[in-house]
């Protein structure tokens, strides 16, 4: 998939656990874990906004496009 999720890296930089982010964002641990591991096919803008607010980051810090060969 050409979109790479960097949520785990941003969380580590902010020293925030999955449980803490889940509480701040209002999304279950299971869904955040799927997002963190890239096992999702879509992300709601409202969820992305809440994650960015909780982690004090930009969407580009979490999402990266990598062209397929």
Q: What is the pLDDT of residue 68?
A: 83
Q: What is the pLDDT of residue 1?
A: 61
61 within a domain of the structure (yes/no): no
Q: Give the CATH number for residue 14.
A: 1.10.260.40
42 within a domain of the structure (yes/no): yes
16 within a domain of the structure (yes/no): yes
pTM score:
0.89
24 within a domain of the structure (yes/no): yes
Pair of tokens at residue 39? 């096992």
Q: What is the pLDDT of residues 13-68, one digit of tens each?
A: 999 999 999 999 999 999 999 998 889 889 999 999 999 999 999 999 999 999 88
Q: Look up the domain containing 9 and give its range.
A: 3-56
19 within a domain of the structure (yes/no): yes
């Amino acid at each position: 998939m050409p979109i790479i999720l960097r949520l785990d890296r941003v969380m580590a930089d902010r020293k925030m656990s999955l449980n803490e982010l889940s509480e701040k964002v209002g999304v279950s641990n299971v869904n955040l874990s799927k997002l963190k591991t890239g096992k999702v096919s879509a992300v709601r803008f409202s969820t992305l906004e809440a994650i960015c607010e909780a982690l004090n980051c930009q969407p580009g810090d979490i999402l990266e496009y990598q062209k397929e060969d």
